[in-house]
Every structure is written in C-alpha cells, then in structure tokens.
Amino acid sequence: MELEVLKITGESTGRKVELNDNIYGIEPNDHCIYLDVKLILANQRQGTHKAKTRSEISGSTKKLIRQKGTGGARRGDINSPVLRGGGRVFGPVPRDYGFKLNKKVRRLARKSALSYKMKDAELVVLEDFTFDSIKTKKMIEVLNNLKVNGMRTLFLFPETDMNVVLSARNIQKIKIELARNLNTYDILKAKKIFILESSLKHIDEILG
C-alpha cells in the first residue's frame, strides 16, 4: 500500500512511500494486543506495596486472655490480626508483576495495532525534519499545521533529536519516541501517529 508523504507545514511533498503490507495491512489479532498491553502496564507497576504481618508488629507477646471459656475469639498476643492495630493476614508483599510473553506475540501485537491505525487513517508519514534551536513555539506551529494541537500524538523518529524532544517537552499529549522503541500501548493511546520517512526502515527491520 502507498501513503502520501507530508511536510511539517501540512502540505504534500508530492511523493508517496510504499508501506509493508505484512506490517500495516494484516488482520489484527485482538488477543495479542491485549496480552502485550497487559505486559507493558504490568511492567510499569512498582510492586513495592507492603503490609506488616503479626510477626513484624511491635508489641508484647504476652497472651492477653485465656484460650477457652470467654465466649470470644481465641487470640494470643496484642499483635493478633483479630485486634485493631494487629498484623494483617495475607497482606500485600513486594513482588514483580511482569510475566513472560513470546517475542512473536509482541511483534504481532504491534503489527495489529499499526494495522488498526492504518485502517482508521490515523497514521501519517512525515518528511524528516529538525529544529535549529529549542523552541516550544516552533513545535506548536508544527502541530497547528498538522491540525493535531491538543490531540494525543505520537512522533516516531529514527534517531534522538534533542532540539525536537526539548521543544515538545512542555506540550501536553505529545510524545516523541524512537521507532525502534515502538510499543503497542503507545500506538493505541495516540489518536494520530506521525512516522518520519527515515523511521520506516527501522520499523521494517524490527517487525518485517
């Protein structure tokens, strides 16, 4: 399939690029997308939650009441989970929420997400550009020209361009990412994806 290449002014360059049908034109697999997004969000969790058990509570170990005959629940020391201020039973402990997911599944998930964006006409190929200096005003001008200002937008660059990254840093809903770090969650979250022309070969190498 072919896609028109746009300038940062929003005008057409008069050129078209050939996109890989095996990446941008497949039948999307929703379950692979679900698994990959689940993994990405799981890896973002710190997993540092912790509650104290009865052995970690500071308090006397003296048995408060006799075992039988009181009519109440049996309990030992003041750290018993039965009492207010006591330890917690089966409370959260630090853990890693990540899980294993095959590379082929993750690759298929990214292809599926890109195919969805292609079907919805939310994927645009942009001519390579850079800024001579760090100016947020320049980035806002680009967004206005492309009619995406205020919209959640993802730009995929072939290499890190600090002038562009720092120019977009204070603008909400804009993300500048390297093409080789593309992930399913970012693709789905963005309402518009701009792939720089030079980034296409990087995506082909990773997903092709």
122 with 161, same domain: the answer is: yes
Residue 96 lies in a domain: no
Q: Are residues 9 and 110 in the same domain?
A: yes
User: Domain range for residue 120?
Assistant: 2-46+102-207
- Is 181 in a helix, a strand, or coil? helix
Q: Is residue 186 part of a domain?
A: yes
Separation of alpha carbons 57 and 85, rounded Å: 9
Residue range 136-158: average pLDDT? Answer: 94
77/155 same-domain check: no
Name the pLDDT band for 195 (thresholds 50, 70, 90). very high
- Confidence at residue 26, expressed as pLDDT on a 0 to 100 scale: 94
The percentage of the chain sitting over the pLDDT mark of 70, rounded to a whole number, equals 100
Split at pLDDT 50, 70, 90, the class of 74 is: confident
Return the H-helix or E-strand segment holding 171: none
Residue 43 CA to residue 111 CA, distance in Å, equals: 21
- The total of other beta-carbon atoms located within 10 Å of residue 25's CB is 14
* Residue 145 confidence (pLDDT): 94
Looking at the structure, do residues 42 and 132 belong to the same domain, yes or no?
yes
Is residue 118 a part of any domain in this protein? yes
What distance in Å separates the CA atoms of residue 105 and residue 87, rounded to the nearest whole number? 42
> Per residue in 9-20, pLDDT tens?
999 999 999 999
DSSP string, 32-78: HHHHHHHHHHHHH---------TTTS-S-----S-SSSSSS----ST
